[in-house]
Amino acid sequence: MEKEKAMYNVVMRTPECLVIDDFLPEEAQDKILNQVQVDEWEQTQGDDKFWHYTDGANYKNQKRWQGKYPYGDNCDVWFEHFNKFLNEYEHIGDYVEGGKFEDYAMRCHAYPVNSKNPWHSDLGFTTYTYYVHKDWQINWDSTLLIVPMGSVPEYSQWIELMEGTKHYDSYKELRSPMEMFQQKEKFQSLIDKGVGTFVSPKPNRLVLIQKNSVHGITRVDPDAGDNIRVTLTGAIGEVGWRDRVTRLADAEIKEDGKVGIKK
């Protein structure tokens, strides 16, 4: 007998992104939210190049990997539901090449008022975002913006190192030097295009952002007061991704959950 497939409340499906509302049963969302509040949190450090010094503070908990699941805590609830989705959703192959994942990460990001995540793409991976906060109003903003696939030149933050430049920061392990101050030229094509899709951080909503799509998150508006935008996020590596993203083909997950290159 054919296995019964779960139904998903798909509210948008484009080449750039997939949006599913009411993704988790409320009890599952509550368990995850309960767990992450007693996780280990830190402020994102200044050498994480996905943020700029002008973006405001943001915070994150420890990173968990699907490959190491189960952890024996309530974040297992996420892996259980998200694995089921990745394995069963009928159009997953449109976003995860070949339709089969090898591994993915799970980490919360928390944005208080005035914080944002500037325009970027995610190093060649499809990523997901799940809004785990319980309440959000449209004017609190912190909206995900995405330009249409292929409408701007290929975007990456990698820079060439000049002779004599030594790489010291946290991307050294991955042999991936990332630009920090010189992004004016790359951002120019985005303002030249200047149109695209918006997705609001509606509670219990899942978003898949297509690999190589360029996207950004606007600031949490002061109207949000002491409400924090809290997400579960991660990159999804499909089976065989090492042949596609050759720059990171030798990457491995270390004991502490960080990613490095095999020596």
- Kindly tell me which of 35 and 121 has the beta carbon lying closer to Fe ion: 121
Q: Cα-atom radius of gyration of the chain, to the nearest Å? A: 18
- Kindly tell me which of 50 and 71 has the beta carbon lying closer to Fe ion: 50
**Strand ranges for 79-228 from DSSP E:** 101-111, 117-120, 126-131, 144-146, 197-199, 206-209, 215-217
- Kindly tell me which of 122 and 141 has the beta carbon lying closer to Fe ion: 122
> Minimum distance between the CB of residue 215 and Fe ion, rounded to whole angstroms?
6
Q: Is 232 within 8 Å of 106 (Cβ atoms)?
A: yes
Question: Which DSSP letter does residue 141 get?
Answer: B
- Kindly tell me which of 16 and 122 has the beta carbon lying closer to Fe ion: 122
Which residues form the interface with Fe ion (CB under 5 A)? Answer: 122
- Kindly tell me which of 35 and 231 has the beta carbon lying closer to Fe ion: 231
> Minimum distance between the CB of residue 229 and Fe ion, rounded to whole angstroms?
14
> Minimum distance between the CB of residue 27 and Fe ion, rounded to whole angstroms?
29
- Kindly tell me which of 77 and 141 has the beta carbon lying closer to Fe ion: 141
> Minimum distance between the CB of residue 262 and Fe ion, rounded to whole angstroms?
25
- Kindly tell me which of 97 and 122 has the beta carbon lying closer to Fe ion: 122
> Minimum distance between the CB of residue 258 and Fe ion, rounded to whole angstroms?
19
Locate tokens 């990523």: which residue?
A: 127
> Minimum distance between the CB of residue 117 and Fe ion, rounded to whole angstroms?
7
233, β-bridge pairs: 107, 129
**Identity at 186, one-letter amino acid code:** K
**Strand ranges for the chain from DSSP E:** 9-13, 17-21, 41-43, 59-61, 64-65, 101-111, 117-120, 126-131, 144-146, 197-199, 206-209, 215-217, 229-238, 251-253, 259-261
Residue 119 in 3-state DSSP? strand
Question: Which DSSP letter does residue 158 get?
Answer: B
Closest residue to Fe ion, Cβ-based?
122
Residue 79 CA, distance from chain mean position: 15
> Minimum distance between the CB of residue 41 and Fe ion, rounded to whole angstroms?
20
Q: Is 206 within 8 Å of 129 (Cβ atoms)?
A: yes
